[in-house]
Amino acid sequence: MKEIEIDREGAKKCEGKLGVLLPGLGAVSTTFIAGVLAIKKGIAKPIGSLTQMGTARLGKRTEHKVPLIKDLVHLAKLDDLVFGGWDIFEEDCYQSALNAGVLKKELLDEVREELERITPWKAVFSKDYVKNIEGPNVKEEKTKYDLAQSLIEDIQKFEEKNNLKRSVMVWCASTEVFIEESEVHRDIESFEEGLKANDKAIAPSMIYAYASLSAGVPFINGAPNLTVDIPALNQLAKEKRLPVAGKDFKTGQTLMKTIIAPGLKARLLGIKGWFSTNILGNRDGEVLDDPEAFKTKEVSKLSVLEYILQPELYPELYKDLYHKVRINYYPPRGDNKEGWDNIDIFGWLGYPMQIKVDFLCRDSILAAPIVLDLALFTDLAKRSGMYGIQEWLSFYFKSPMCGLGLYPEHDLFIQLMKLMNTLRYIADEELITHLGLDYYY
């Protein structure tokens, strides 16, 4: 099959503002927005963001050509981002950020005015899909189809008011109950019928994704929800030539897992068991306290090791691996999660060893730069003529979407290589294989 033709002119054209539409203005969204505002003011640094701080090597190592990624490809500038979003609560972004308790009040006060101007539009929400929370700021249209139309109107009004030609949507709302793909998700016709008939298998996140794509806006899924990972919405993305990416931001414990596991596997060290448990006390933790929402998260977290370790290829090392993941809601910690991992490994002649990880992490601090990078890279993908699943963005996800018949790539280092080569490809630069024999022969 031939490689996709990149629209090199489009890839370069990013004048004007970029709308960032956020379903869910909670901890992650407000940490992202407040962070961007603070960085623009020069009072903080975009640590953790590849688009802002990352570099890409070009050509041979002897050439010493290592531009910033933002100089290699044309990305929207932080000054050009305009934020809008939906939430079931009415608080503006300043208040919501204070409630989330991630960023210090002194920092939030520096950008207070801008944050206060961002107030949530009425959400599409139902307690059938997120059990542990309830709020007043919810749309009341009768059918899911009408709800989608109302979201499309929100998007259009936002784009008109801010004079935007491009937007992206990044789902930062709660994790929904576990849903499996069914008949109504089969194609866009049955999906639209399902919207009109209020089919239960269509969750609010799917209504947002449908509205986003219908309005010409790429959709990125930051939660483990099924959402855009269904044939109907994939079909819509392709028909509209829009990128989609997901799912579930890779932060915290899973980030650690995808850093450590490829290393152990690379050295052919066996793993008998991997027990992960963590405590967190934010609203995300509260939602995940519901077993049905936890199931969605658990499926997303569990698949990682299976794909990285490939037990079918290395049965002696990984076939009997016992993998367990626990999340415990513990309010005193707020957004400052603590994650413990106990890894039972074995080496030469089967001798056992143990690794213990105690990660005192800050969930939203790790997630915010991911939201930024995904917004900018997805906009780049759209301008470059890339559409459908953006597997090159797997780097950012716990449960990466991939094409039919492919297995998802979870190894962080392979994911990074893929991302960097995709950027080189978009920029019409030579891909790097890391072979390097020509330095010696």
CB under 6 A: which stretch of 85-93, 211-219, 313-321, 345-353 binds ligand NAD?
85-93
Closest CA to 211 of 174, 157, 175: 157
Shortest reach from residue 48's CB to ligand NAD, in Å: 12
Annotate each residue in 34-73 with x if it binds ligand NAD (CB under 6 A) or - if it does not, as one string.
----------------------------------------
Closer Cβ to ligand NAD, 194 or 222, answer by number: 222
Query: Which amino acid, one-letter code, is at 440?
Result: Y
The whole-angstrom separation of Cα 99 and Cα 115 is: 13
DSSP 312: T
| Number of alpha carbons in the 13 Å side-chain half-sphere of residue 194 | 21
39, 230, 366, 420: which one binds ligand NAD (CB under 6 A): 366
The whole-angstrom separation of Cα 281 and Cα 184 is: 36
For the chain, what's the residue count?
Answer: 441
Annotate each residue in 96-135 with x if it binds ligand NAD (CB under 6 A) or - if it does not, as one string.
----x----------------------xxx----x--x-x
Shortest reach from residue 255's CB to ligand NAD, in Å: 9
Shortest reach from residue 419's CB to ligand NAD, in Å: 18
Tokens of 235: 């079909």
Shortest reach from residue 420's CB to ligand NAD, in Å: 23
184, 217, 367, 374: which one binds ligand NAD (CB under 6 A): 367
The whole-angstrom separation of Cα 325 and Cα 322 is: 10
Strand order in the sheet with 336-346: 322-329, 270-280, 336-346, 352-362
How many other C-beta atoms can be found within 10 angstroms of the C-beta atom of residue 404? Answer: 7
Biggest CA–CA distance in the chain, Å, is: 71
Closer Cβ to ligand NAD, 122 or 166, answer by number: 122
The SS3 assignment for 273 reads strand
Closer Cβ to ligand NAD, 32 or 318, answer by number: 32
Residues 185-214 that bind ligand NAD (CB under 6 A): 204
14, 21, 27, 264: which one binds ligand NAD (CB under 6 A): 27
Closer Cβ to ligand NAD, 218 or 224, answer by number: 224
Closer Cβ to ligand NAD, 327 or 426, answer by number: 327
175 binds ligand NAD (CB under 6 A): yes
Closest CA to 93 of 50, 38, 169: 38
- Residue nearest ligand NAD, CB atom distance: 26
CB under 6 A: which stretch of 243-251, 271-279, 382-390, 429-437 binds ligand NAD?
243-251
Write out the DSSP string of 33-50.
HHHHHHHHTTSS--TT-H
Closer Cβ to ligand NAD, 191 or 329, answer by number: 329
The whole-angstrom separation of Cα 73 and Cα 71 is: 6
282 binds ligand NAD (CB under 6 A): yes
Q: Is the dihedral of CA 300, 302, 305, 311 positive or negative?
A: negative
Q: Which residues bind ligand NAD (CB under 6 A)?
A: 23-28, 86-89, 100, 123-125, 130, 133, 135, 172-175, 204, 222-223, 248-249, 251-252, 282-284, 363-364, 366-367
